[in-house]
Chains A and B, each alone.
Chain A
Amino acid sequence: GQNIDQPTEMTATEGAIVQINCTYQTSGFNGLFWYQQHAGEAPTFLSYNVLDGLEEKGRFSSFLSRSKGYSYLLLKELQMKDSASYLCAVGGRGSTLGRLYFGRGTQLTVWP
């Protein structure tokens, strides 16, 4: 089975840094994805990690530890527009190749 766990809600203030954690236990692993989803809109791709370590992309960074089944998304210099749900997803492999297994999402609220 697949188990992907992330906090339900987080809050932070404008200009701050926030780290959203994701832990996973899956029968297969083909990389970890982070998506951003504003209310009523499509999930949009943020990052992909398949090897251990940190990937930095502007204000957003994503980290993966495969041995620990752990990832985090780091958002720096928070802006009001960063208020959204952040979805952690694991890619399947073998018979589940192509599938994404999503966590329930972390609703981030950024206050002025």
Chain B
Amino acid sequence: GAGVSQSPRYKVAKRGQDVALRCDPISGHVSLFWYQQALGQGPEFLTYFQNEAQLDKSGLPSDRFFAERPEGSVSTLKIQRTQQEDSAVYLCASSLEDRGTDTQYFGPGTRLTVL
């Protein structure tokens, strides 16, 4: 497809479960970003990849959050031992280059609900 895709679109987890969220960026895009969007808020930065290198993970809220992009294309955000405060929409975005001024194109997000 032409845009950023994410799966699953919706995920319900029991507290303490591990979850994995997938992002397929636009083909050929160098940079990939993960954001967390709580209800009624703007997206908050989590982490940033340039190809397979994770250049910035300072936005990850705890060591339960882990992201990878092993081949420089698809990325997975993993959350271990989920907590209720992890409930949010997780957005993935990609951009063509790594100049910082490039437009980021967002996927539809994964809505995570932790019970």
Q: Which residues of A contact B (CB under 8 A)?
A: 4, 30-31, 33, 35, 40-45, 48, 50, 87, 89, 91-93, 95-105
Is residue B62 contacting chain A, with contact meaning CB distance below 8 A?
Answer: no
Q: A42 is contacted by which of B40, B45, B95, B106 (Cβ under 8 Å)?
A: B106
Bound CA span A48–B95, Å: 14
Q: Inside 8 A of A4's CB, which chain B residues have their CB?
A: 42
Known contacts A42-B106, A98-B100, A104 near B40 by CB under 8 Å: yes
Q: Inside 8 A of A41's CB, which chain B residues have their CB?
A: 108
Q: Which residues of B contact A (CB under 8 A)?
A: 3-4, 31, 33, 35, 40-45, 48, 50, 55-56, 59, 91, 95, 98, 100-101, 103-109
Q: Inside 8 A of B41's CB, which chain A residues have their CB?
A: 104-105
Q: Inside 8 A of B109's CB, which chain A residues have their CB?
A: 42
Q: Inside 8 A of A48's CB, which chain B residues have their CB?
A: 101, 103
Known contacts A42-B109, A103-B42, A50 near B101 by CB under 8 Å: yes
Q: Inside 8 A of B98's CB, which chain A residues have their CB?
A: 98
Q: Cβ of B101 and Cβ of A30 under 8 Å apart?
A: yes
A78 to chain B, nearest CB (A): 22
Known contacts A99-B45, A104-B42, A42 near B33 by CB under 8 Å: no
